[in-house]
Amino acid sequence: MDQDFDALILEAERRAERLIALLRIGTAVALFAVYRFVVADAKVPDHLDLTSQLVLARLTMLSYALLGLVALALTVRSRHRRWHAYAFVTADALFVAVSLFLALDNYAVDGRYIAVLPSLWLVPLVLSFNALRLSWRVEAYAGLAMMVGLVLVALVPGRGRDGVIPASLYTNFGEPPNIMRLAMLALAVLVLTAAVVRTRSLLRMALDQSRRRALLTSYMPRQIARLIEETDNAELRAGRVVTVVVMFVDLRDFTARAETMPPERVSAFLTDYRRLLREAVDEAGGLIDKFVGDGAMVVFAQRKAEPASLARSAIDCSREIVRRVAVWSDSLVAAGRRPVRVGIGVHIGESFVGAVGDEERLEFTVVGDVVNTASRLEETAKHAGVDIVASRAVLDAAGIKDRAFVPLPDVAVRGRQASVPACAYSTR
């Protein structure tokens, strides 16, 4: 799990570096567009010469775009390394610090006035970039590097006099207000770090749930796996009584066939057979409750489906299984092997749907008379030598009056007083 998660995070970090590199370039282009259409054409009082400031602004934007291009070139999978994040975080912090220093020097003021410089507003933007990396360590390091750079710049003595800034604003740029600004920046870093930690935790949780679901669906139908994952034990145990259609499928003469086959051939044969059943059942909207050797119990029990819809789906599915097995059998015969047939029993009725078992092991299943009856109908199909035996109840529910279903003598079910009217269907 940890190795898979680390590999996933490493790929996410590489893609994050690529996105951040593109964002750097995009930021530089966007700022240049604003500069070109707003700042460069703005009217400036005659007594002010802003030529050097404008040159510095253009160089700043160009340099940041170049930094983005270098970072983009290193995001190729073969070149990417995890330590690149720290290198570019350091580069971002140095870039902001140098930009602020050059601006202060250009204005001939000391470091206490960095709050009035446009370059300072790169700080929250750059820190936001780091949240994309999904690493709280990188985010924390970025915050620390940025604050160290700002403190060092703030300590730079000015070459001019304080008159550049109106005296009435002097108190807003002393040590107390600047310390407050630094404290708010530190809090912003903490919030972004917490966001990264939470996002990483959610990602790990999502990956863990996906792995558990994949593991569950390896041993049971995905519908049941999803229900078990989303429902607590008490609710599963309580279950519910609903109308279901139950189908039992049995592969005829499998024991005799298996006697003459090596174990690996038996395994491959059963795999093909079970794949055929699963595909047919999935397409019909049912689920395979369990496989038992060469047999399977199939359930149609969708929550919002009407009994008529369930019954039609089950009958259609049983016919489709017979058709697919016939095609499979023809391919086996063509390869010089023995043909195959299946027998199917289908019945409809009310059943308990939920989990049964003790505290150590719970089994999600369908329990009730409908299950026993469907199993008995499958046995009847075997004795009658037909493909499908469906109860009259399920045929009536489905609205099927097909003459292909021939009435049989009522089927007696062990432990059940009343016999079951049924019909047989066969392709032979």
What is the band of 258 on the pLDDT scale with cuts at 50, 70, 90? confident
Q: CATH number for the 228-425 domain, one of 3.40.830.10, 3.30.70.1230, 1.10.287.3510, 3.40.50.300?
A: 3.30.70.1230
- Looking at residue 315, what is its pLDDT? 93
pLDDT, tens digit, for every residue of 31-42? 788 777 765 555
- Looking at residue 276, what is its pLDDT? 93
Name, of 179-188, 221-230, 305-314, the range with top average pLDDT. Answer: 305-314
* pTM score of the predicted model: 0.51
- Looking at residue 2, what is its pLDDT? 58
Q: What is the arithmetic mean of pLDDT over 187-195?
A: 67
Residue 204 has pLDDT above 90, yes or no: no
417: tokens are 């007083």
- Looking at residue 230, what is its pLDDT? 45
Name the 3-class secondary structure at 287.
strand
- Cα 202 to chain centroid distance, Å, stands at 11
- Cα 65 to chain centroid distance, Å, stands at 34
The answer to whether 29 and 58 are in contact (CB under 8 A) is: no
pLDDT, tens digit, for every residue of 314-373? 999 999 999 999 999 999 899 888 889 999 999 998 887 766 666 565 566 677 888 889
Element (H, E) at 380: helix 369-384
What residue spans define the domains of the chain?
A: 2-215, 228-425
- Looking at residue 227, what is its pLDDT? 45
Least confident of 1-15, 321-335, 368-382: 1-15
Q: What is the arithmetic mean of pLDDT over 297-318?
A: 85
What is the band of 231 on the pLDDT scale with cuts at 50, 70, 90? very low
Indicate the average pLDDT of the chain.
76
- Looking at residue 312, what is its pLDDT? 92
pLDDT, tens digit, for every residue of 267-276? 888 899 999 9
The answer to whether 315 and 401 are in contact (CB under 8 A) is: no
Q: How far apart are alpha carbons 131 and 37 in whole angstroms?
A: 31
Burial class (CB in 10 A: 0-12, 13-18, 19+), 369: middle
Q: What percent of the chain has pLDDT over 90?
A: 14
Residue 381 has pLDDT above 70, yes or no: yes
- Looking at residue 395, what is its pLDDT? 92
Q: How far apart are alpha carbons 366 and 244 in whole angstroms?
A: 9
Q: CA 318, 321, 393 angle in degrees (round to 5)?
A: 5
Residue 176 has pLDDT above 60, yes or no: no
188: tokens are 């912003």
pLDDT, tens digit, for every residue of 100-132? 888 777 777 777 777 777 778 778 877 777 777
